[in-house]
Structure formats: C-alpha cells, structure tokens
C-alpha cells in the first residue's frame, strides 16, 4: 500500500483557485481538479482533488490499496466541498476511483469527473495520466489558423463517427494512429477543408455515439491513448485540415460511476427533478445555476482547445439548453422566474462560454446546433447575441429534404420549400448540414430518400449536392455521402465501401470530388456567404417547370457565377435567363455530364448574351438546362476562354 505524506490540505490548492472555482470563473479547472502527478517536499506521487460537498467522506481507491477505502481518506477543505489527498509513490497508469459515502450513509464508487484517461469499456475506472508527452508539429497551422478559418473562406466539413467509418476484418476498431493515415488521405482526396468528429469523450455505450458521456476530460480509450488522438489531430493540421469536435454540455448519462448524484445528491444536475430529468434521452441535465458546474463545463471546452489543438466545437442540442421545455415531456410546462420558457441560467452560461473561449482562442469556431427561431445566435454577446460563430441551418435542411423527396408532379405545389430559406439566409452565420441525424432511425440515406427509378435517384442527389454547394452558408456532409451510401447509417458496422465496386457509385464519388473542388476554387461561392450582397435571384418563380436560377457574388466587381437548378426530369432547350452583362458565358459545371453518370445535356460552347432585358436583368441568354441537374456559368475571360457558338 502506498503512503500519504503529511502536508496541510490548504497548501495543496491556492485560495485563489478555490475562490474562482466556487465563483464559476475557474476556467482552467483541469489543472486544479482530478489526479495530477506532483512532487511535495521532494516526494513524487499523485495529488487527487474532487468536488463532493454533500459527501460524509471520500476515499481514493484502486489497485494500490486493493480497492479498500480506509487507507486513503481524503481531507475536506473547510466549507468548500472540495476534498484533497496526496498519495506518495503513485505513478502514471494507476487505476482509481473515488469511494463516496453519501448523506444517507450509502457507498458509491465514482469515476473522476476530471480524469484524463479511462479504462476501455465496459470497465469504468479512471487512470492517472499525464498529457505532456506529445510533441506537436502543427505550428504552421496554428499560426495561420485564423486566416484559414475566416468567415470569408470556404468551409466544407466531413462528419465522422470513428467507430463505423471503417472496421478491421475481425470487426475491431481502427486506432487513432491508423485512422491518421487512411482517413486523412480520403478526406483530402475528396476536397474537404475540415473533419468533424462526433464526440470522442469517454462514454460507456457504443450506440450512444459519444453523446452520453461519463468522462468529459477523457478521450475515449476505444481507439487508443490521448497522445494517439493528438497525433491524429496533428496530422490533420499538417495536411491543412481543420478539426471540429462535437461537445455535449446539455446532459449526461445516469450510469452509476458517472456524474449523476455524484455525492449522493443532485450535484451536476438540478435539484428539481422536473428540470434534472431528460426522459427523451434517459439522462440528466446540467445545472447551469451552480457556479462549480460552470467552472467544470467552460474549463472542459478550453481543455480540448488548449491541450488537443481543436479548431472548433460544435455544441450539441443548444435548443435543449436554452429552452426549459424543449425535448421535455412533462405534463406541466416548466417556467422561469419571469413566467417564460427560456432557461435563463443556460443562456447566461452560453454567453459566458463563448466570451471566454474567444478570449483565449479568437481563431476557433463555436458552432451551435440550434433548431428554433431564437434570434441572434451568432451575434456577439455585446449585441445581445449568444456569441456563436456559426449556427446549423436546420430549417433549410428540413425544407429541402421535404421537397426533394416529393414525386416530380408534386413539386410545383411545394416550390416555396426551395426558396423560403433566402428570406433568412443572412440573419445568422449558417452551416448547411446533411448530418448523421438525417440518415438514421428509419430516415434512410440521402440517396434512398430520392424518388423515382435508379437514374433519377442519382440525378436528384447530384442536384441536391449542387444546390447545397451553391446556396449561401458553409457545408457539412456525413461520411458515406460522398459515394452515395444507399442504406441508412448502421453504427455497428462500417460504411458500405463495397458499393464502390459499382460504376454508378464510382461515378458519384467522382462527381462529389469534382463538385467539392469546384466549390473551393470558386470564390464567389463563399466570399460573401453571410452578406446579402453575395446573392441575387434571377428567377425564383418558375415553379411549373421546377427551375430556380440565381447568382452568387464575390467581393470584386464582375466576380459572380450564374446557377440554374432544374428539379424536373425534363430537358429545357433554349431556356432564357437574365444575366447582368453583355458577353460570352461559359458553363463551368454541369451535374449531368456523362462522366458523372448523367445524360450529357451540356452547354459545350460559350454562349453570347443578348441586349434583351429579362428576369430584371439588362441582358439575357438561352441555355440548355439538364434534367434533374444543376449547371453553373461564369463570364468568359482571357483565362476562361472557349469558342462562342456559331449561331450566337
């Protein structure tokens, strides 16, 4: 059994740290709490610190004391509710838990809320671990990250669930280091700018996908060690890829070793069971009113940014945070002190979170998954906003997927589903996400949502992706979408990579790669993503023929492209559209090319515009519009030259 060393408990933690922690402003709490290798009076060991204000006693137990609680009793720091203990002789790799005696004299074994590493599930012990081993090589990326991630730069995100992207032949997981080779190569070859990882914090149940967490500071051991995950991020950065991490500050799972009723009482969750329970998910909500919970969560956000060089956090379920009754099934609605539905404490927490994160890391992104009309989600907190940099545009996703699933004869009556988003497209900084949520639980894959026979499914999907890439806002696609996964996502098995044995899926992968590169190379598609000056309708009203046309514009005069989307299976020859200037126009992109699996209805030569006003433009031209296709034109220049049609 390892020994303790006599030292005043009050000297293990500073009064300033204690004050800030209980004030809710200790934003580096991971340096204070948890298990840390330390040296006291020349003796090496481990300092343990845990918050359990209502516990009668707390002990540190592990293999080193045969999981007996009597030998290593922690000391309570006066009235703070924080317990500390230094155990001499312990080193990295020790398994441990906290043995908590609750107010009703029950014993529970709890994992460390601040543990840096944990046992591989189904085991649940925390592991003493140092995060100082890894030598980062991403200095160039970190130095220029702010410019690469500016609002006027392209952003094309590949969303990944590490447990099911690929699996080994025996069904086991790829490790972080193994994924650093194959995954990064795949993402780069397909033209993405960022990878977004679904939560990789420690969680007990594989099929929660990481959204029900027990170890907020512990990268899951399923795929390797913390330094292995650092290596994966480092390799992304060295290859020019940003890394976004899903983060879940709204709720946590009820597993006995986790945060729930940590000291035998509601601690991280509210005391009021109506506010604590999340029946929809079977979880507990965080209590944002407690300052110590604020310190825990804000520190956790900074932990991933500070130590793992994460470039952005996608904050899960923001709507469930800021509304008291969102996703709740209580027969009696919960009300705040003013009689409203807003969770006032959660709103204050959210603003403080974003203010603090940007104070330390102004070059990263905080991204809200928020699905309601809450105003100013991406406005600064100084302007009464929530302070996020981006918001997922779930309204657009719901509308466009509802439309694209309709049979062709039904589409004219629902044309507004294509155009309504432009009434609010610039009210926030939006990301357009075709995420995992759209492809599970019987919702079908994107390809299998498409109506009609096989060729129409692929044509519709090419058109949908084209519309995604030309609509204002940044982009996100879930893994497998790049090769038109046919079945919905199955989280227990790898993607259906065997589909690439078939020509139709090979062609689609070629299409998505080409489209992604075109998007990145075409400045007018992203330079003014969040500015109304970056968009202009040509014709939003051609519902009978299922065609919409518009312009995307860049910052420089004359930097624009003309986009025409045809949501019917008819080919339109000599289709007239208005354009802003006289001269030749070249078709730069067409989803109906035969190399993509299309029918080849293209505009091969440059088209001369005429001095004939149309669609509120001074000039116009006649084009061929492909079936279930998107075609994009740009003004002819010396660099962008092609023969003009002889008939023009």
DSSP codes of every residue in 534-579: GEEEEEEEETTTTEEEEEEE-SSTT-EEEEEEE-SS--EEEEEEEE
CA-CA distance, 235 to 178, in Å (whole number)?
Answer: 11
CA-CA distance, 66 to 138, in Å (whole number)?
Answer: 42
Structure tokens at 613: 């006003």
CA-wise closest residue to 164 among 438, 442, 479, 477 = 479
Catalytic site residues?
316, 369
CB atoms inside a 10 Å sphere around CB 62: 22
- Spatial contact of 465 and 446, defined as CB atoms under 8 Å apart: no
Structure tokens at 533: 């000056």
DSSP codes of every residue in 462-531: HHHHHHHHHSSSEEEEETTGGGT--SPP-TTS---GGGGGSHHHHHHHHHHHHHHHHHHH-GGGTTTTTS
Half-sphere exposure of 621 (CA within 13 A, CB side): 27
Please state at what angle helix 176-189 crosses helix 226-238, rounded to 10 degrees: 20
Residues 6+ apart with CB under 8 A from 186: none
CB atoms inside a 10 Å sphere around CB 271: 12
Inter-CA distances, 508 with 125, 446, 590, Å: 46, 13, 13
Q: What angle do CA 240, 241, 244 make, to 5 degrees?
A: 150
CA-CA distance, 569 to 15, in Å (whole number)?
Answer: 71
Cα dihedral sign for 254, 258, 260, 265?
Answer: positive
Hunting for tokens 């940044």 — which residue is that? 474
- Spatial contact of 26 and 17, defined as CB atoms under 8 Å apart: yes
Instruction: Write the burial class of residue 359 (CB in 10 Å: 0-12 exposed, 13-18 middle, 19+ buried).
Output: exposed
Give the chain's radius of gyration (CA, Å): 28
């Amino acid at each position: 059994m390892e020994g303790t060393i006599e030292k005043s408990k009050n000297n293990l933690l500073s009064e300033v740290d204690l004050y800030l922690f209980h004030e809710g402003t200790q934003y580096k709490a991971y340096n204070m709490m948890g298990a840390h290798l330390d040296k006291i009076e020349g003796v090496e060991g481990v300092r343990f610190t845990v918050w359990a204000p209502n516990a009668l006693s707390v002990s540190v137990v592990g293999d080193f004391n045969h999981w007996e609680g009597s030998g290593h009793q922690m000391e309570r720091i006066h009235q703070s509710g924080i317990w500390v203990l230094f155990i001499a002789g312990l080193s990295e790799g020790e398994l441990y838990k906290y043995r908590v005696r609750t107010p009703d004299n029950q014993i529970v074994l709890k994992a460390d809320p601040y543990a840096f590493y944990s046992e591989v599930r189904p085991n649940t012990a925390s592991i003493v671990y140092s995060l100082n081993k890894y030598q980062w090589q991403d200095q160039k990326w970190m130095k220029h990250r702010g410019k690469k991630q500016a609002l006027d730069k392209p952003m094309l995100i590949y969303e990944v669930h590490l447990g099911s992207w690929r699996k080994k032949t025996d069904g086991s997981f790829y490790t972080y280091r193994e994924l650093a080779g194959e995954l990064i190569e795949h993402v780069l070859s397909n033209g993405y700018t960022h990878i977004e990882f679904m939560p990789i914090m420690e969680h007990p149940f594989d099929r929660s996908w990481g959204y029900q967490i027990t170890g907020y500071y512990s990268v899951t051991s399923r795929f390797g060690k913390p330094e292995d995950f650092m290596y994966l991020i480092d390799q992304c950065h060295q290859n020019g890829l940003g890394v976004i991490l899903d983060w879940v500050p709204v709720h946590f799972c009820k597993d006995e070793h986790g945060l729930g009723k940590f000291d035998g009482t509601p601690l991280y969750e509210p005391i009021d069971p109506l506010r604590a329970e999340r029946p929809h998910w079977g979880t507990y909500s965080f209590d944002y009113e407690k300052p110590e919970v604020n310190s825990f969560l804000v520190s956790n956000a900074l932990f991933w940014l500070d130590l793992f060089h994460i470039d952005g956090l996608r904050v899960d379920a923001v709507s469930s945070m800021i509304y008291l009754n969102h996703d709740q099934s209580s027969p009696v609605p919960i009300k705040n002190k003013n009689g409203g539905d807003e969770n006032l404490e959660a709103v204050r927490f959210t603003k403080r979170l974003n203010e603090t994160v940007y104070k330390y890391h102004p070059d990263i992104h905080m991204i809200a998954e928020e699905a309601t009309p809450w105003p100013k989600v991406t406005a600064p907190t100084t302007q009464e906003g929530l302070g996020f940099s981006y918001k997922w545009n779930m309204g657009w996703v719901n509308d466009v997927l509802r439309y694209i699933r309709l049979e062709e004869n039904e589409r004219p009556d629902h044309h507004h589903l294509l155009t309504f988003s432009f009434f609010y497209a610039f009210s926030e900084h939006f990301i357009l996400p075709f995420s995992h949520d759209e492809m599970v639980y019987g919702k079908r894959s994107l390809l299998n949502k498409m109506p009609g026979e096989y060729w129409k499914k692929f044509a519709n999907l090419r058109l949908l992706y084209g519309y995604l890439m030309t609509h204002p806002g940044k982009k996100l696609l879930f893994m497998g979408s790049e090769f038109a996964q046919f079945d919905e996502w199955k989280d227990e098995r790898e993607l259906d990579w065997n589909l690439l044995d078939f020509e139709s899926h090979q062609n689609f992968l070629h299409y998505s790669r080409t489209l992604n590169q075109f998007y990145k190379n075409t400045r007018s598609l992203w330079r003014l993503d969040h500015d109304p000056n970056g968009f202009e309708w040509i014709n939003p009203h051609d519902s009978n023929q299922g065609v919409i046309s518009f312009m995307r514009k860049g910052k420089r005069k004359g930097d624009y492209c003309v986009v025409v989307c045809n949501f019917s299976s008819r080919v339109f020859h000599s289709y007239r559209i208005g354009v802003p200037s006289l001269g030749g126009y070249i078709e730069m992109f067409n989803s109906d090319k035969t190399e993509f699996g299309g029918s080849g209805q293209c505009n091969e030569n440059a088209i001369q515009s005429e001095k004939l006003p149309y669609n509120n433009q001074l000039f116009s031209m006649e084009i061929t519009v492909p079936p279930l296709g998107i075609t994009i034109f740009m003004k002819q220049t010396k660099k962008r030259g092609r023969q003009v049609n002889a008939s023009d």
